[in-house]
Structure 1
């Protein structure tokens, strides 16, 4: 009883061994826990996790924007091949009814080709509120019935519907009458027609509206329509229903459940004032205020990520903005910008960051609790001074189990045993922290090199991340010079475009990021596995620079490559820029289908890629146009020989088509000799394009060179 009272007094005495040892053990464990936690934070675990979340958000919105932009700019606006025939029909016919009778088949073809929900022609009629119109609608463009049973006549003469066996829509009208709610899609492009006869530069995308009060909401793309004499007669355009547009904005892209998805924003004043004009899904419509412009606070400038301030949700909502490039520079409507806006709640966007914070907090609390309980239990057994043991403890390595020499005294030996247990618990705490990192599924390793020690401290994950055998690692950490030399040898292949990133494996490829924190007494390194991040970045670069069908440079990439070569023109020898046009591609597509057209393109690229070898740059400029830059040749005859070999190879390569016919590939070319290296790429391209036009005018299937 007296012993318990004495121990209680000792426990309350701040100068007692019990108090001092307990405090020492607790502080040591807390420092270890804080050190590991601080190392993770200083090493950028939280910031990198947040960066990864923002990057993933940006990548999803960017890829979706590319997809939407391809549909809007390439497929839905592909009206140019049909406009010339409409223009000739306008000049050849005396009445709108006769014109519509001549043009309805071509309008249906345009509707099928663009895969939109509607196609129309509206003619201007002087001194009349009712305009002659031919408007055909397809409620499901992805399902084509070539008997036209899936089409509906919305505007136009009813006898045309009978003749074509097209049912009339329930909202059918004979002609078009405009009011304040529906006139912009006609008047805006029509009013800009005096600027140029190139209708492609005057195309206008309308925000969603209703053609009639009882009609469904639609988006339209319209251009002025001139007759063959360049007289403005009306507009031609296509319609995309809002319901059909919604299919290209899948909310599941961003979140598997409860996703706010995408919306389309509109602005004529830059990104500072964006109004939602097309919203998808009940959740989005409930949370986003459609009647207000977005109030945005910038979060990540490089990735266009903002926090939405005006919404109806209790959670924070983040938005990623991507501008949809609909209009060319210096065109009438370039100030009207459309944006693809991806929306995510903070809980989902930063879910992984919050989990890491919770794990680190719980680990710190667990380490403190273990230190308090273990330290007090061990220290409670000691009652005498332990000077010699303190000396041994100070001289021992922190990363090894503590082993104290026995003194032969029961009390001191008991103290020694307790201190050994405390040290083991410290090591276990470190191991637990390493396991927690493993459970967090974030591959990261840490090492520390102290100035006054030859030994290197490391976490268990470091050997596997650096692909170093555990036995070898155990050997080299005993000597910091060997460790430093081996690490330098391992990290001898830095990634050019990413700072502090190194490739350490070839099969499979592996990338690590190394961050060093130095102070007066030590150097601490944090090594993380960033393989997935780098591979995804490289994949994005591939998708950015290469044409997906032919796997040669796309339009922008080939321009960058050629411009780089032109800048160093003094060392390029004889050079030429050649524009190629693949003949009869449209006929092959129309006759045999796009699968055979794609095969025809790839067969042509196979031959084109053989011209010039390493002294050439080849890219696809559009569907049937290719640009080839040849440089570093001794003289013009060497280039002519390459061209002759190319065309000779084409004549020997016959393509078998489904109808049993054998046809060679025919390509027309315009060759521009590069005489003036001060000309810009666009100027060279325009000159080569003119020569190509001359070649196609003379005889298709060969090339013409500049004078």
Structure 2
């Protein structure tokens, strides 16, 4: 029976919910907001602007990387002056030998220096034509620069080609002499520049001169290195005299084989020429990028360093922001940045390798820096971000307006039906619902009208079905709009609670009572959301499933006694996962749990797989019976369960085989301590056998480590099983760790055993014969058959015999030797070898008898094989055997 219990106070309160218009509008707005949020999150996750910025950086990096290779090749080609230096040295030595030159007079005799310069000038012109340089020079000096007066003139020659890439003129009309004496100019016939001077002025060691630093470094170092090792590029641009053109230069000292230093030779690259090789327009559209060819003495690890500008790709605003040719570079998150005029410039700085590692100037690192203003470089990403933001704002505005219109149109028909139902409720009669021209709503109205008349009949039928059901059921219904509560008579009794004494329950009181019942009994939740209460009363345990469904104004609950099905499910799950004898995980459960753990390496941490095998189980079964053997296994299982930390996966795989998985540790030493504790506990576990003897658990085990030995279960099981096998074979009753060295040795031994089996199967042996010579008789008395194998690992007969003894195959070797040696012995070549040692008829007769049919047949078939010195006797013996064989 259903009992209706009403709370009059609650019935008077009017309960209101959210209007359908607001519900639809809020839902649509929520969907739109979720879509916008998902769009924003997806953009954030994909990092569109970051990737666009990175693409811009990568393109800049690629351009600079391509350009730095070109510039490095150009400068390395320019500084390769070995051939020119050797030509000048050879010229000097030849002139010295002919008496035309004395190096000591180079600084004092203009005539001597002009003669040398005139001799080497053609080769300078050829080198200038052959290399991608705009100038070449030689400066002569044989004294320490500290001893020279500032402003004094040094003899030398300085040639320049303003357009190295143009086709050279046959009469050198495109060349100019910047420095050189009148005699040299007259001899060469090359035009002098407007700033021409006959000598090169020495202005002291201070500053960044293009020739003095390499010369003085080699002088002070005693010319211990090769001339090219002292070579150096000027770290900043320079001018020659009053010439307005700037350049950088590479120079190296001129050193004779005896270590005499008599000047420098070098090449020049005009700044204007280098700028043509640094097309800044390739860095960024709109010509907003700049190349800097710089040098620095800072270490590669420095996060902030000063560089010296040598050449820039253009004289733009950026160049003017680095006074005195110096710039400060800063590394931020492994990226190079320049800050000029309070603006950030993203830069790609790549090294140019010009000096060997042990050269005196190797600390002067050269870099090619390509830089672009960050706002210009990242402008596209900024524009994309702004467009996305504007699109999101427009989406929100249009979505809100659209949601408002749609919600209004959808809510009106439902509100119409709602008001008609409310009016009918107030009039205590079911209304005639209007048609809304919406198919679903009209069908719902018709269905409500027909269902209303059938409701009472169906309720009565349902109650009768519940009374006749074989499973005890109970239920309730709460109506929040009216505050009424319907409860079956047996509902509280099913939940193990006393029946309420009063006959009236409010919704609030019923919910409190049901909540107290759930809190006072163990409760679990199924995957479907149903709750199963464990009711223990008077030594009996029952399981009650409580299903609850809700709608806006009603909550319906059903209580069902599921004791039988729950107990059966628990029994099946226990038998599926646990070993009956020990209560530990069985093989299937162990593999399932282990597989779940190995899917989460972070949860495994440092782990160890311990495979264990009971010792003496067969002896106990044979001596005391299988019942005692089962007790032995049971005691072992209990000892493992009670002496391992919580969370350790402990399992009995089969008869006497156990496996443990320790996991979640930070070091192997922590696990070793747990294993030692377990081993000690097993040794202390004692049982008294029927004979009165004490039975202690003796177990052998092998340990494999995760991740040190392997990262998957199959590998760890293989290694742990190998370690267990080693223990069982050498030191039973102990736990040992896996050793890769021993495993590899065993693998080699196993391969050797497999090769031995192949040798037996395929008979991969042959035999050679060694004569046994009698010193007394002074002749060969017999032949010894020696075994040989063509298998690389079994070359030695001693190895073969050792393996045969280990594997019980001595008989196979004996059989193989007997038949194989006789087969070889019977071979015609072997017969010939033996026959060559026979000298008399008696020996021949004995050999034929020893060789049986094969040897006899050989001599009978090939009489010519008999040595000439015994031919008469041999014919007689052969005739005897021939007649004997015929009569036989």
**TM norm structure 1:** 0.50
- Residue 45 of structure 2 corresponds to which residue in structure 1? 42
Deviation at 1:279, TM superposition (A): 2.7
Q: What does residue range 22-421 of structure 1 map to in structure 2 within 5 Å?
A: 22-73=25-76, 75-93=77-95, 94=101, 95-126=112-143, 129-143=152-166, 144-180=168-204, 184-193=209-218, 194-206=222-234, 207-227=236-256, 229-270=258-299, 272-285=305-318, 288-291=321-324, 293-301=326-334, 305-309=335-339, 311-312=340-341, 315-383=343-411, 409-410=435-436
C-alpha contact (below 8 Å) 2:230/2:359 kept by paired residues: yes
The number of equivalent residue pairs is 383
Determine the C-alpha separation between the residues in 2 that align with 1:186 and 1:412.
98
**Which residue of the partner structure matches residue 470 of structure 1?**
none
Comparing both chains, which one has the higher relative contact order based on Cα–Cα distances under 8 Å and sequence gaps of 6 or more? 1
Distance 1:412 1:291, change over 3 A: farther
What's the offset of the Cα at 1:218? 1.4
Work out the CA distance in 1 between the residues paired with 2:213 and 2:38: 66
Query: Mapping of 1:665-680 within 5 angstroms?
Result: none
Partner of 2:52, secondary structure, is: helix
Q: Which residue of 1 aligns with 2:688?
A: none
Aligned in 2, Cα 1:161/1:251: closer, same or farther, shift over 3 Å?
Answer: same
Tell me if structure 1 keeps the 8 A contact 2:345–2:372.
yes
Q: What is the rounded CA distance, in whole Å, between the counterparts of 2:23 and 2:436 in structure 1?
A: 21
Deviations 1:7-52 (A, max 9, x none): xxxxxx9943333322221221121122133123213433322322
In structure 2, distance between residues paired with 1:284 and 1:76: 30
| Change in 2 beyond 3 A, CA 1:346/1:119 | same
- CA deviations on 1:473-516 (whole Å, 9 max, x unpaired) are xxxxxxxxxxxxxxxxxxxxxxxxxxxxxxxxxxxxxxxxxxxx
2 CA distance for matches of 1:249 and 1:381? 68
Between the aligned partners of 1:153 and 1:182, the Cα distance in structure 2 is 24
CA contact (8 A) 2:158 2:177 kept: yes
Distance 2:322 2:39 in 1: 45
- C-alpha distance in 1, partners of 2:260/2:23? 99
5+ unaligned residues in a row in structure 1: which ranges?
1-12, 390-406, 417-450, 453-707
Higher mean Cα deviation, 34-43 or 117-126?
34-43
SS of corresponding position for 1:381: helix
CA distance in 1, matches of 2:296, 2:138: 28
Structure 1 residue 263, shift from structure 2 partner:
1.3
Find the residue that maps to 1:245 and give its secondary structure: helix
**Change over 3 Å in CA distance of 1:296–1:377 after alignment to 2:** farther
Deviations 1:260-303 (Å, cap 9, x if unpaired)?
Answer: 311122211236222334333232446632337444443451xx
Q: State how far apart, in whole Å, the 1-side matches of 2:210 and 2:257 are.
A: 23
Q: Give the SS at the match of 1:261.
A: strand
Residues 214-241 of structure 1 show CA distances to partners (whole Å, capped at 9, x for unaligned) of 4421111000102354411110001111
Question: Does the CA contact (< 8 Å) of 2:274 and 2:311 recur in 1?
Answer: no
Once residues 116 and 170 of structure 2 are traced to their aligned partners in structure 1, the CA distance between those partners, rounded to angstroms, is 23
Q: CA RMSD in A?
A: 3.1
Counting only pairs closer than 5 Å after superposition, residues 534-549 of structure 1 correspond to structure 2 as none
Mark the structure with the bigger radius of gyration.
2
Q: Which whole-Å CA distance do the structure 2 matches of 1:20 and 1:385 have between them?
A: 14
Query: Secondary structure of the residue that 2:210 maps to in structure 1?
Result: helix
Question: Structure 1 291/183 Cα, relative in aligned 2: closer, same or farther at 3 Å?
Answer: closer
Superposition deviation, residue 373 in structure 1? 1.1
Q: Distance in 2 between matches of 1:24 and 1:91?
A: 99
C-alpha spacing 1:346/1:414, structure 2 compared with 1 (3 Å): farther
